[in-house]
Amino acid sequence: MPVPSYGAMPLSKTFLLVRILQVVSMIIVIGIASNFVEQIVTTGIEAPKEVVGTLSVTCIATLYMAISIAFYWSQANLGLLVMSGVDSLLLIAFIVVAVTLGKPLSYLNCYRIGMASKAADAQAAYAFTVSVTQNLNSDGSNLGMGNWAGATKSNCFQSKAIWGLSIALCILFTTSCVLLPTLFYKNKKANTAPKSVEDA
């Protein structure tokens, strides 16, 4: 099945590449975030709001991606403008996700976890344990994202991967927000019938 040109084949292929990168990024975010939620919930603690929010936004965006690719391939001309509006809303959502995740994670240095002095490691372990015990089996409790991400090197790197992919998704959605209206107008221009010599 050939890629629809919409009157500008290079832009159309660029948009398709952006969509593929968006889907791959979101699948990775869903995998890491759902793993976090599973690990936290099995210990009887409510997952951090940041992780749950990221997972919710990413799942909704992934569902939309499946629908939008079908509209794109069926050459739904007006659908390009609708997709541009939805992409703009998802761009705002991922900006909020990136900022929310960035607040606690920007101060973490993953390479220093486990490499500090014994006193610093003991203090970090104590803060994590206190946070866990205060939130154990109590409804409405929240384990801080900074505490969870700072508990181990693995958690830290995975948290930063989610944050980095959220920033990448902001860039990708900005690109698709620019490409979609451009494709609409290029297609409209390509499909307008040229004036005949008699009409001139």
Q: What is the pLDDT of residues 82-99, one digit of tens each?
A: 999 999 999 999 999 999
In tens, the pLDDT along 151-173 reads: 778 888 888 999 999 999 999 99
pLDDT in the model for residue 112:
76
CA distance 10 to 124: 52
pLDDT over threshold 50, residue 33:
yes
Closest CA to 97 of 146, 138, 51: 51
pTM across the whole model: 0.81
Contact 90/175 with Cβ under 8 angstroms? no
